[in-house]
Structure 1
């Protein structure tokens, strides 16, 4: 493996044991293994977010935060439930912005799979809005959503995408993300100010 290969954390935005979103990330991990090191991270073991007087953050969330901080970028895949992201993903992002800020200025690529034809398009739009919030302030790759529709039929027995057009599109988007990550490494002039603003944000004023 190349020493200077980018390391990405891929967050499975579902608590389903048979998620096609997990299948999508596993495909990306294998398919792009010569371009980047991708580690899948599960959030299904995290407790539902709850504010506390001492701003307690579960160790599992802290562990994910450390992985994100040490990574060059993050890939998040989300299904779509009622035109929105799952509660488990919303809760995980809340933990990852509750007194800790691992996603701040971190390059993020959004992907998603759904059983229907739209490929979690509304959920991805909502996820983009959440990631741009003052508490998270991730650096989301623009106009880059990968929308995998009819995901139950999308993969063959080897876990590869059947649709060659979709595979080619994902190839292009991933190359763009690699470039986006490298450019982002030069765009941290406001990082210290962004960190200060995030730390000053109060969860008690809701």
Structure 2
């Protein structure tokens, strides 16, 4: 059974993105193992000259390293991803490369009707940076709109269409992870390139 890390892209205590990841963890428990990881508790990224990485960031990086892939769920604030998610990605690209060639699937939940398309595009852009170089599953945008009304008291999604779409995307992600396992020929070179960028 494959093991995935699910990053909660917000520090909001009442987060429907956390609900979405919790639903994924429960709904697909017979097929995949999902560990939810909170991103709060990291100091604001300030590019320390000694390149000392906070223990919390190292812990998250270790979980990502040991996983088969990463699922990120992000809300959208002002057409962008939340600061807590951007801050975490900045730490996770500074002298360490847990995302390097790691399969990533991006999801999002939004209180409104427009979804999180811009925030997801923002996260994709960051993950494609030379210091991160994640392998982002293409054509996989998944959004839950009006998310305050999308879940019942047990955390179950109401809309069967949303569930079926998510089931299809998780199945595709499983295949994407399998394909990615054969695409490791440039990993060491990519890591070296990223290290050079950080020291220049």
Give the alignment's TM-score, normalised by structure 2.
0.98
User: What is the 5 A alignment of 1:1-206?
Assistant: 5-202=1-198
C-alpha change, 1:162 and 1:93, in structure 2 (3 Å) is same
Would you say the 8 A contact 2:95–2:198 is kept in 1? no
Look up the SS of the partner of 1:52 in the other structure: coil
Structure 1: which 4+ aligned runs deviate by more than 6 Å? none
Rounded Cα–Cα distance in structure 1 between residues aligned with 2:41 and 2:49: 23
Q: What stretches of structure 1 of length at least 5 have no aligned partner?
A: none
Taking only aligned residues, the RMSD between alpha carbons, in angstroms, comes to 0.9
Rounded Cα–Cα distance in structure 2 between residues aligned with 1:85 and 1:37: 26
Rounded Cα–Cα distance in structure 2 between residues aligned with 1:191 and 1:153: 43
C-alpha change, 1:152 and 1:203, in structure 2 (3 Å) is farther
Would you say the 8 A contact 1:65–1:102 is kept in 2? yes
Rounded Cα–Cα distance in structure 2 between residues aligned with 1:154 and 1:203: 46
Rounded Cα–Cα distance in structure 2 between residues aligned with 1:202 and 1:20: 35
Give the alignment's TM-score, normalised by structure 1.
0.95
Look up the SS of the partner of 1:162 in the other structure: coil
Rounded Cα–Cα distance in structure 2 between residues aligned with 1:194 and 1:52: 23
Look up the SS of the partner of 1:202 in the other structure: helix
Would you say the 8 A contact 2:94–2:198 is kept in 1? no
